[in-house]
Chains A and B, each alone.
Chain A
Amino acid sequence: MAEQTYFEDVSEGQELPEIKISPDKQQLVKFAAGSGDFNPLHFDENFPMLKPMGLTENIVHGRFKYAQVGRLVFGFAGYQGRVKKFGVQYRGMDKLNQPIIAKGIVTAKRQESGENLVDLDVWTENAEGKKNTPGTATVALPSRS
């Protein structure tokens, strides 16, 4: 993990260091095992449900993309910070072996109940820059003082 980020160092409009991953089938099988979601939609190209859903190939779990946003916000909060909440909507599908890039931007800084809170817009986008998984997050950061 990168160095700890402090509340004083953050400004509105600041971009978070992005996380990029292009999950192959093995990666999604690992995610199936880790998450307990063994829906064949994500790893079996002969799964009969693909066709009725208008798909010709497997798609990435929404929760996999959510977890990439989780990595993004935890990376920003650092070990001394705390992720207070993060949420996304699944608006578009991502196919295997295509880049999924988790990104975020600071939208507000505020102090509440003794905590230094930072609000974020977060999302994953594909290679074309389409935001398939938009959402928001709030983290608490430590102070230098």
Chain B
Amino acid sequence: MADDFEITDEMKAQIGQETEPWTYEVTTTGVRMYARGIGSTDPVHYDVDFAKKQGFRSIVAPYGFLGTPVFHPDTNDGTFGFPRRAGGPRLNLPFKGLLDGGTETEYFDVICAGDVLEETSHLADIKARGNMVFLTNESVYKDKASGKVVAKQRLTSIHM
């Protein structure tokens, strides 16, 4: 068994480094597209009048969907759409392989079409297991209009 990959103090110092904020839009079309993408037939994701009758502000974002990052070809990744922005961790890990390790979302409100969210993220954890590194990034989503935190999402990526 090889020794664990060494997590240096320099790497650990990146924990907590905040990115600049980015805008995520939750639109009616975006909600419907995501709902179609996951195979949902629940009218609460498609029919605005129906959703309002159930007490929601508009159609409900399916759980797992926190809107779409505003895209510009100069600033966003062409494959994944995520923003490349200032701030955040700089790790320079010597790995090419990347796997999605897990997703966890905490909700403080229901997210509906029409919401505009402001997201910032930071490195929450870094650890090694063998020659693999597990990074956990936490994103905080605030409702732009009220400033209230509506969701926190933790994403674990596995680098090897």
Residues of A at the B interface (CB closer than 8 Å) are 1, 21, 23, 27, 30-39, 53, 62-64, 66-71, 73-75, 79-80, 82-90, 135
Chain B contacts of A32 at CB under 8 A? 37
Chain B contacts of A74 at CB under 8 A? 42, 62-63
Q: Which of B54, B68, B104, B107 sits near A83, CB closer than 8 Å?
A: B107
**Known interface pairs A70-B62, A87-B102; A36-B80 also in contact (CB < 8 Å):** yes
Q: Closest residue to B34 on the A side, CB-wise?
A: A34
A-B residue pairs in contact (CB < 8 Å), sample of 8:
A23-B39, A38-B81, A39-B79, A39-B80, A62-B103, A67-B65, A86-B105, A87-B105
The CA of A1 and the CA of B44, in the complex, are separated in Å by 9
Which of A1, A64, A85 neighbours the largest number of chain B CB atoms within 10 Å of its CB? A85
Chain A contacts of B80 at CB under 8 A? 36-39
State whether the Cβ of B13 lies closer than 8 Å to any Cβ in chain A.
no
Number of interface residues of B (CB under 8 A): 38
Which of B44, B65, B100, B154 neighbours the largest number of chain A CB atoms within 10 Å of its CB? B100
The 8 A CB mask of B25-68 against A (1 = contact, 0 = none) is 00000100111111110101000000000111000001111001
Chain B contacts of A67 at CB under 8 A? 34, 37-38, 62-65
B69 lies within 8 A of A36 (CB): yes
How many A-B Cβ pairs are below 8 Å?
A: 108
A30 lies within 8 A of B105 (CB): no
B102 lies within 8 A of A79 (CB): no
A85 lies within 8 A of B35 (CB): no
B63 lies within 8 A of A34 (CB): no
Closest-CB distance, B52 to chain A (whole angstroms)? 11
Q: Closest residue to A70 on the B side, CB-wise?
A: B63
Q: Which of B44, B69, B71, B103 sits near A66, CB closer than 8 Å?
A: B103
B33 lies within 8 A of A63 (CB): no
The CA of A110 and the CA of B85, in the complex, are separated in Å by 42
The CA of A84 and the CA of B156, in the complex, are separated in Å by 20
B105 lies within 8 A of A90 (CB): no
Chain A contacts of B36 at CB under 8 A? 30, 34
Chain B contacts of A30 at CB under 8 A? 33, 36-37
**Known interface pairs A27-B39, A31-B37, A73-B63; A87-B107 also in contact (CB < 8 Å):** no
The CA of A69 and the CA of B81, in the complex, are separated in Å by 23
A85 lies within 8 A of B44 (CB): no
Q: Which of B38, B54, B110 sits near A34, CB closer than 8 Å?
A: B38
**Known interface pairs A74-B63, A82-B110; A35-B102 also in contact (CB < 8 Å):** no
Q: Closest residue to B82 on the A side, CB-wise?
A: A36
State whether the Cβ of B130 lies closer than 8 Å to any Cβ in chain A.
no
